[in-house]
Each structure stands twice: as C-alpha cells, then as structure tokens.
Amino acid sequence: MKEKVLGVLGGVGPLATIYFADLVVKMTDAKTDQEHIAMVILNHSSIPDRTEYIMDKSKPNPLPVMVNDAKMLEEDSCDYIVIPCNTAHYFYDEIQKSVSIPIINILEETVKYCEKTIPDIKRIGVLATDGTIKSMAYQNIIEKHGLECIVPSQEDQQSVMNIIYNQVKAGKEVDIFEFHRIIGDLKKLGCDAIILGCTELSIIKKDFEINREDIVDSMECLARSSILACGKKLKV
C-alpha cells in the first residue's frame, strides 16, 4: 500500500507548527522510525497575520500566500494537508478549492471529538483569537452539530488575546492563573467542554501539563485525525 504523505501548511504560528509535528510523532503507535507518518512541513512564518486581516480588511491578505503554499504541498505529492491554526480556517473553503487533495479541518475534527468523548454534551465554550470569534467559525460548526456555543465576555476575550499575542507568541511568561480564571468563567455559564481553539493555547496546555477531559485541545484533535487519515494507529 502506498505510503500516505501529510502536508503541513505551517508558520501560523511557527511554534505551533513545530508542536503539531511533535504531537503527531508522539501520538502515533510506532515501534520503529519507518512506522511513523511521512510529513512535508512548510513552516512559512511570514504569512500575514490572520486575525489582523479578518478584523481589518485593509491589512495584508494571507489567503494568496496560503493558497500558494497549499499548491506547493500538493506538488510535493502530499495526500492530505493540515493547517495547524484555527484562525486560518476562515480561509478554509478558498484554500480547499485551490487544491484537489483533502484539507483536514481542525474545527470540524475538534467538535466531533467533543461529541464523541463528553457524555450528554450540550454547551461548548471556545477560547480563540478575535478573528476566529468574529468569523463565527466555531459557532457555525458547533450549531451545525446541534450544540450551543459560548464565547468569553468582552473583558475575558481581551485577556485571551493578551495571553495569545503578548505572552505565548512573544515568548513571555504565561499568566496561568488568568488562563484558568477565564476557563472558570465559561464553566460557570454551563459549558460541558472548553475548546482550546487557538494553537498557542495548545502550547499552554502542554507546558503546564493540563490534563482535564473537559478541556479539549484542537491541536491534539488535528494530530489524532491526521494519524488515522494516513493509515496509522493511535498510541493508547
């Protein structure tokens, strides 16, 4: 059987891309090097900021760059493409139209995982960038699945953006107490699960070893789906 190749349209952001590749390796049930997934990683960190463009269309548009990168991965004989950035999925439909190979959708895979693992789930909270929240990306998919989506208050959302941009992306110390406070606010609103809908937040989960079933990491969901799509087994 032909080996499946996973193309990673990365750089959005660079640290999250490397973390995604690390997750794929660590989550694959492999006893030898040869049992791991073949990946082509394009860590293109100069792609214009996705949230900036979504919030202000006068800013540089990342879509043409991402379309070109997707085509490069297709030309490199990749069988699937992943984009380890939730906000970038604002452009998902246009990027998918530009290539003939499937792009695994991190938003869809994360919501499906919530349904599968959280009993009697009804309400999902989402922590994400302003761009992801404004685009209604998660809200639309969650509601499509017949569930209710809750986003942070305006004050908490400003704090989420501070954590993402001024702490994780900037390589500064993370205010983990504020992170947990925001999650607590969403839990008080009756959320059965909290999606970490920004890959910088996934890095916080890793660095602080947060292991709660009700906190669902979108990056882990993408890695899990990528492994299965490429015909490999998940480590139990």
Q: What residues are annotated to the active site?
A: 85, 198
Query: What six digits make up the tokens of 106?
Result: 């991190």
Q: Which residue has the tokens 């992170």?
A: 179
Q: Are 28 and 20 in contact (CB under 8 A)?
A: no
Torsion region of 190: left, alpha or beta (phi above 0 gives left; psi -120 to 50 gives alpha)? left
- One-letter identity of residue 156: D
CA atoms within 13 A on the CB side of 5: 13
- Within 83-166, strands assigned E span 103-104, 123-127, 148-150
Residue 222 neighbours by CB under 8 Å, 6+ apart:
20, 82, 84, 104, 106, 109, 110
User: Phi, psi (5° rounding) for residue 166?
Assistant: -90, -10
